[in-house]
Homo-oligomer: A and B are copies of this chain.
Amino acid sequence: MPEHRFESRNSDKTYIRILDAAARLYREKGYTAVSMRTIAKAAHIKAGSIYYHFESKDDIVSIILNLGIKVVHDEVNQIVTNLPDDATASEIVRAGIRGHLHALLEYRNYTSANVRIYGQVPAAIQKSNLLARRKYEKFWDNLLSDLQESGELRAQIDIASFRLLLIGALNATLEWFDQEKGDCSVLADNYADLLLNGILTDQEAGT
C-alpha cells in the first residue's frame, strides 16, 4: 500500500505484494491465525520464497506495525504544517482529525492491523513499535499544548487525557466505518464539532 516509498525499485513489487497481503490478513484474522502459508497464497508466491524477502514472520509483522503508525503521523504532520499561520484552534484540531481519519482509512490494512494486533504480538515486537507510537503522541501533545498556552483551549483540560480520548475515539472508527457508504471528511467534521464544543446546550455548559 505505501507505494511512495518503493515506487520504481526493480522487483521489490513482490516485497510490497507480500506486505500488503500480510497486513490485510493480520487485520482480518489476528497475529497467530495468519501463517506464512496463508500469506504466500494471498501474495501468489510459495511459502519458502517469502524468506528471500523477509527474515521471519516477526520481521513482517514489525514492519507492518511501524508503517501503520507512520502513514498516519506523516499525513497529519503534513496537513497541519501546511495550514496558514493565522489558523484558529478549531481549524487546526479539525485538520488534524481529518488527516488522522483519512490516513487511517486510506491505509486501513496497516492501521487496523496495528490497532488490532499490537496488544497480542510478542513483547519484542511491541517494543519495536513503541518509538513510532511515542513520537506520534508527542506530536499531538505539542500541538495541543501550544493551543492551550495561547488561550484557545480551556486551561483546565489535561492534554494527555484529551489526546488519549481523541486517538481512542478516532481509531475505533476502524471497527465500523464503511468507506463505501460515507465520506470520511464528513465524519471528521462531525467528530471535530463534538470534541471542540461538547454536547451540552449553552445554558447547561460548565456544570
**Stretch from A56-64, A71-79, A149-157 forming part of the interface with B:** A149-157
Q: Digit string of A163-196 for contact with B (CB within 8 Å is 1, else 0)? A: 0111111111101100000000001001101111
Q: How far is the CB of A118 from chain B (nearest CB, A)?
A: 8
> In whole angstroms, how far apart are the Cα atoms of A28 and B168 in the complex?
19
CB nearest neighbor in B for A198: B198
Within 8 A of B (CB), among A111-155: 116-117, 119-120, 151-155
Given known contacts A31-B30, A157-B194, is B116 in contact with A199 (CB within 8 Å)?
Answer: no
| Majority secondary structure of chain A interface residues (helix, strand, loop or mixed) | helix
| Least distance between A43 CB and chain B CB atoms (Å) | 20
Chain copies in complex = 2
How big is the A interface, by class?
A: 35 or more
A94-120 near B? 1/0 per residue, CB < 8 Å: 000000000000000000000011011
- Measured CB to CB, the residues of A under 8 A from B are 27-33, 88-90, 93, 116-117, 119-120, 151-155, 157-158, 161-162, 164-173, 175-176, 187, 190-191, 193-201, 204-207
